Chain A
Amino acid sequence: MSSKVRAQRHEMPKQAPDKRIKNFSEVTLGYTPELAVAEASRCIGCPKKPCVSGCPVGVDIPEFIALIAEGDFLGAAKKIKEKNSLPAMCGRVCPQESQCEAVCTLGKKGNPVAIGALERFAADFERLHADPLAEAQSSDLSMGKVAVVGSGPAGLTCAAELTKLGYKVVLFESLHATGGVLRYGIPEFRLPKDIVDEEVEYVKRQGVEIRLNVLVGTTVTLDELFAQGFDAIFLGTGAGLPYFLGVPGENLNGVYSANEFLTRTNLMKAYQFPEYDTPVSVGKRVVVVGGGNVAMDSARCALRLGAEKVAVVYRRSRTEMPARLEEVENAEEEGIEFMFLSNPVRILEDDKGWVKGMECIRMELGDADDSGRRRPVPVPGSEFILDVDTVISAVGTNPNPLLIRTVSGLALGRRGNVIADDETGMTNIPGVFAGGDIVTGSATVIAAMGAGKLAAHGIDEYVRTKNGRGM
């Protein structure tokens, strides 16, 4: 292949922006087999495989890409699944540009192999063409009994891995549906819920029992679970507690936390109101505060729910935005306006308790803070007013304290996160493990999965030792 062809990355076909802002269907349509083979053929199979070390779970990237290039799509999917059990999701939501694709050799010329899109292609091909029942099922679940709390990516992965290791797992979820953020946070147009359903079905087929509507700590306590004969408990309860802006006017009508806005929209399907009962009201002019995936998702949902104008206000500049690059580009294509180096000061009220505007102040970047990003500082006298009727606050979340505070003696970090051992996932309480956002604060799907898998092995070792089975 000529180097000219190699230089060009094949973009996935997408729904046109003017069309997609009127629906909740998936934006990117995925490669055709021809496009996938063409893109896979760009990989030069360099011997150092920097991409593999860029992947948090170490997927054998060059190998699966080579299989796609040869047309062995099912083989490629199998290869990925050796390391990553949820590739259809990761291909769609991982921040590839800061992981595998960031270190791709071709990336030095600004055009890395589209690893995420290829992962997604292989996984989707397998979903459509492989027999799900042909997968090996774990039949002997006699190693012990484990309770997994929370059905986000950390809990789902931990549960699936434990069944592979021979454990009977009961997965408890407080909501009426599984998936955690994958269900209630990330919208349908970015991660179709069919895919989440399929992954959950897979976990069930492995023998995991799922119990919805159980708020562990309240409906049943950890002590009661141990008394019921569970050998160990994994906490994967996420970082679901929203912060607010801390500015005057934040409780006005028309101000939402991103969690409320997205939960109404995605989990409760308010975008199909009144067919579905839960409402969400979005005004004509919406402003979203924040610069992460949550902010992008909120802004793009607002647009699809009928807002005429949607702006994102972020206190740093574009380069510091933590959102996935692809989603920022999608948001821009859809006409979302970005106001960088701006921060809200207060929300203005009309005479009926509703939002009628938001006052912001300009920021400039000062010295780097502990996260290594330059700290934004307000520019005195630079206040300005945005004419908006809806404000969505997407400025971060903390671990939900509901369960944590019922566990006496559990060691917590500064921000209320649970402290777990890096190698085993065990907390300071024997038999209680934790992983995912509850430990790290909001992070990524792949990191939560990695933590779930690691803890499964930590649990295995713990239970074997406890039950005197050795390794």
Chain B
Amino acid sequence: MYRILKKEILAPKIKLIEVHAPEICSHAHPGQFIVLRMHEKGERIPLTIADSDPVAGLLTMVFQEVGKSTTELGTLNEGDVIQDIVGPLGTPRDIRKLDCVICVAGGVGVAPIYPEAKAYHKIGTKVISLIGAQTKDMLIFKDRMEQVSDEVYYSTDDGSFGHKGFVTEVLDDLLREGLCPDEVVVIGPLLMMREASRVTAKYGVKTIVSLNAIMVDGTGMCGSCRVTVDGETKFSCVEGPAFDGHKVNFDELIARQRRFLAEEKLAMEHYLAGAGGCKCHQK
């Protein structure tokens, strides 16, 4: 049982929670995630470790409400409990001193990219962060990212903050102007990661994406999370979630993300119709 010690609403439908999980925190590295199950009937959902404090044993997760499980998770408050959390899972990112990295994050992807930016910053790598959101209200982790970045560029779809348009356009501009980072790290929606990889391929810049394949156990025993990378099947919960963006078969993954669309819709309807009621719009 993991009690929620802190809850923050970062943006509409984007929430941060913190739990006490000392064993996970003392083994966590950037790029890793946990799988949680809220209660007896819950599904196992993966969330990236957005921050971990090994001394205090505090584990931070940030999630966006996109369906039944994340919406229900959003109704939990400080003092409520999450039944199961297992981790840290996935292969830690290989973070070593480089001259310059660009961290490109879209939407809720800012939270999972933060530990990586922080780790690079700490060892003296120049970090340039590009952060995209639909609109100004949806920008999260702004202060945190500014603390660990040498430069930050913003973009919003509606132009309410920073560049008007997609964050991948900012990336393209910077690379075209001659910026040449050792590595570009991209975390966000699949379409954005695909586009970012296409952009960086033009300039031949190494690109790491973090895939959000549908998972069950998260420990390599089911293959639900399999993706094709460089023509080979990989289990993203074990060998990923980070992979070379130029080698990922995004189209296959995009199709696989739609495997349970009908059931996801049904689950949401069932939830909203049920005793839980529709609390989601009150927040």
Q: Tell me the count of chain A residues lying within 8 A, CB to CB, of chain B.
A: 39
Q: Quick check: B223 and A244 within 8 Å, CB to CB?
A: yes
User: Whole-angstrom distance between the alpha carbons of A288 and B267 in the complex?
Assistant: 27
Segment of A89-97, A209-217, A339-347, A458-466 in the binding face? A209-217
Q: Quick check: B84 and A218 within 8 Å, CB to CB?
A: no
The yes or no answer to B202 lying at the interface (CB within 8 A) is: no
Enumerate chain B residues within 8 angstroms of A260, measured Cβ to Cβ: 216, 222-224
Closest to B90 in A: A218
Q: Quick check: B252 and A263 within 8 Å, CB to CB?
A: no
Q: Quick check: B41 and A276 within 8 Å, CB to CB?
A: yes
User: Whole-angstrom distance between the alpha carbons of A463 and B263 in the complex?
Assistant: 52
The yes or no answer to B24 lying at the interface (CB within 8 A) is: yes
The yes or no answer to A279 lying at the interface (CB within 8 A) is: yes
Q: Quick check: A244 and B233 within 8 Å, CB to CB?
A: yes
User: Whole-angstrom distance between the alpha carbons of A166 and B41 in the complex?
Assistant: 37
Enumerate chain A residues within 8 angstroms of B68, measured Cβ to Cβ: 277
Enumerate chain B residues within 8 angstroms of A304, measured Cβ to Cβ: none
Q: Quick check: B221 and A242 within 8 Å, CB to CB?
A: yes
Q: Quick check: B259 and A253 within 8 Å, CB to CB?
A: yes
State the Cβ distance, B66 to closest chain A Cβ, in Å.
Answer: 14
Complex interface bits, B235-263 against A, C-beta within 8 A gives 1, otherwise 0? 00010000000000000100110111011
Enumerate chain B residues within 8 angstroms of A256, measured Cβ to Cβ: 223
Q: Which of B37, B226, B270 contacts A274 (CB 8 A)?
A: B270
Enumerate chain B residues within 8 angstroms of A215, measured Cβ to Cβ: 86-87, 89, 219
Given contacts A218-B27, A353-B252, contact A402 B219 (CB under 8 A): yes
Q: Quick check: A277 and B223 within 8 Å, CB to CB?
A: no
Q: Quick check: B267 and A273 within 8 Å, CB to CB?
A: yes
Given contacts A259-B221, A277-B267, contact A253 B258 (CB under 8 A): yes
The yes or no answer to B172 lying at the interface (CB within 8 A) is: no
The yes or no answer to B107 lying at the interface (CB within 8 A) is: no
Enumerate chain A residues within 8 angstroms of B255, measured Cβ to Cβ: 252-253, 352-353
The yes or no answer to B80 lying at the interface (CB within 8 A) is: no
State the Cβ distance, A175 to closest chain B Cβ, in Å.
Answer: 7
Closest to A246 in B: B233
The yes or no answer to B64 lying at the interface (CB within 8 A) is: no
User: Whole-angstrom distance between the alpha carbons of A273 and B83 in the complex?
Assistant: 19
Residues facing A in B71-90 (CB within 8 A) are 83-89
Known: A175-B217, A176-B84. 19 other contacts (CB 8 A): A176-B37, A214-B23, A218-B87, A219-B23, A219-B27, A219-B87, A253-B259, A263-B222, A273-B263, A273-B267, A274-B266, A278-B43, A278-B44, A278-B216, A279-B260, A353-B256, A400-B221, A401-B220, A402-B238
